[in-house]
Amino acid sequence: MRVAIVGASGAVGLEIIKILQERKFKISALSLFGSKRSAGKSIFYKRKPITIKQLKSSSLKDFDIVFFSAGANISKKYAPIAAANNCVVIDNSSAFRMEKKVALVIPEINSTHISKYKSKIIANPNCTTIISLMAIKPLYDIGSIRRIVATSFQSVSGAGNAGMTELISETKRFLSGTKKSKNKVFDRNIAFNVIPKIGLITKNGYSEEEMKLHNESRKILSDNRILISATTVRVPVLRSHSISINIEFEKKISLAKAQRALSKFPGIQNIKIDNPMSYPTPIDSSNKDDCLVGRLRTDYSTKNGLSLWVVGDQIRKGAALNAVQIAECLQEK
């Protein structure tokens, strides 16, 4: 396939290039695009340098697949142009996720939606949505879910390379006693702190990130009956997101049955409910494809509840890997 990557020099773009090589995705030609600032730089693919070209409206033609990882504004402007030129767009931004004609896909969960929707644009879900649903879907398959309460602990790399740079520089300043400078990425100091707000606050009091988990999950599962209440928190972790999830079912689900469902689900690892000291942390999932689940337990405060903990690398499964898996589904077809 002829492949292009828009936003190639960003954290997700670089990860897409890395994963395409690791998974030996069949490519006849690879083109890289970026901003005027990135144009002229080279990125190695299979030990050969590829020069990043400045993105223009005339750039996006004669490709089979175009990955977009440059933000919603760029996607809104250029993705329709690529689609009009008969390219299939796999978009990592929030630009098209909730459009009725656009498929929102996690391949392990709803790959059939790729052919169900007619649009040439396929949306990659929000990273927290992907990691959460990887743990929720196997349980959804064995019992009707009434309500979900989720709290995310999201790493700074969710805000890109700039987020990681800000955490590292703030930590150094804090430890050296240097006067704190103005934040460029986060609303508050992120070093040795947590920020219980990601994205703008909407009219209902929830943040945009929290509403993404609610709205996107319903679309992916094709189930508008599920009630989802989320709190999203930025934490001083470099890579990988963690989510604490409480699920209330219509009927009781035994721990053993839940464990079997999770252990059999593709892309999930580390299910050990018989060992209370076995639990995954963000470091355990960093640079790994699978999401890790632990702390599975019965919720004693409600009749039919389970609680669990899931961690996943939001740059890999939460973004780049999921996008490449979508491309693999297209290649199979």
Predicted confidence at residue 255, as pLDDT, reads: 93
CATH number of the domain enclosing 276: 3.30.360.10
Give the full edge-to-edge strand order of the sheet including 145-154: 227-234, 145-154, 241-249, 305-312, 291-299, 268-269
Residues 202-248 pLDDT 10s: 999 999 999 999 999 999 999 999 999 999 999 999 999 999 999 99
Residues 7 and 59 in one domain: yes
Residues 62 and 170 in one domain: no
Residues 136 and 256 in one domain: yes
Q: What is the 3-state secondary structure (H, E, C) of 213-249?
A: HHHHHHHHHCCCCCEEEEEEEECCCCCCEEEEEEEEE
**Mode of pairing for the β-strands spanning 48-54 and 29-34:** parallel
DSSP single-letter state for residue 195: B
Structure tokens at 122: 């396929």
Predicted confidence at residue 49, as pLDDT, reads: 94
Predicted confidence at residue 275, as pLDDT, reads: 74
Using an 8 Å Cβ cutoff, are 4 and 20 in contact? no
Closest listed residue to residue 63, CA positions, set 4, 20, 123, 21: 4
Predicted confidence at residue 178, as pLDDT, reads: 83
Residues 101 and 191 in one domain: no
Residues 47-73 pLDDT 10s: 999 999 999 999 999 999 999 999 999
Residues 142 and 77 in one domain: no
Residues 165 and 212 in one domain: yes
pTM: 0.95
Q: Taking residues 143-170, report their average pLDDT.
A: 94
- CA–CA dist 146, 182 (Å, integer): 44
Predicted confidence at residue 245, as pLDDT, reads: 98
Residues 21 and 79 in one domain: yes
Predicted confidence at residue 221, as pLDDT, reads: 97
Residues 290 and 155 in one domain: yes
Predicted confidence at residue 271, as pLDDT, reads: 74
> Given a cut of 80, is residue 263 above it in pLDDT?
yes
CATH number of the domain enclosing 327: 3.40.50.720
Residues 155 and 290 in one domain: yes
Percent of the chain with pLDDT strictly greater than 70: 99
Residues 66-125 pLDDT 10s: 999 999 999 999 999 999 999 999 999 999 999 999 999 999 999 999 989 889 999 999
Sign of CA dihedral 302, 269, 112, 132: positive
Q: Taking residues 149-173, report their average pLDDT.
A: 93
Q: Which residues, at least 6 apart from 113, have a Cβ–Cβ distance to it below 8 Å?
A: 103, 104, 105, 220
Residues 180-213 pLDDT 10s: 777 899 999 999 999 999 999 999 999 999 999 9
Predicted confidence at residue 270, as pLDDT, reads: 75
Residues 15 and 114 in one domain: yes
- Average pLDDT in the chain: 94
Q: What is the band of 333 on the pLDDT scale with cuts at 50, 70, 90?
A: confident
Give me the residue label for tokens 């930025």.
Answer: 234
Predicted confidence at residue 332, as pLDDT, reads: 84
Predicted confidence at residue 177, as pLDDT, reads: 87
Residues 140 and 271 in one domain: yes
Phi, psi of 296 (to 5 degrees): -70, 125
Closest listed residue to residue 96, CA positions, set 225, 190, 216: 216
Give me the residue label for tokens 């150094």.
Answer: 172
Q: What is the band of 17 on the pLDDT scale with cuts at 50, 70, 90?
A: very high
Q: What is the 3-state secondary structure (H, E, C) of 252-310?
A: CCCHHHHHHHHHHCCCEECCCCCCCCCCCCHHHHCCCCCEEEEEEEEECCCCCEEEEEE
As for how many domains the chain has, the answer is: 2
Domain that includes residue 146, residue range: 129-314
> Given a cut of 90, is residue 274 above it in pLDDT?
no
Residues 90 and 169 in one domain: no
Q: Which residues are catalytic?
A: 127, 241
Predicted confidence at residue 160, as pLDDT, reads: 85
Predicted confidence at residue 330, as pLDDT, reads: 93
> Given a cut of 90, is residue 161 above it in pLDDT?
no
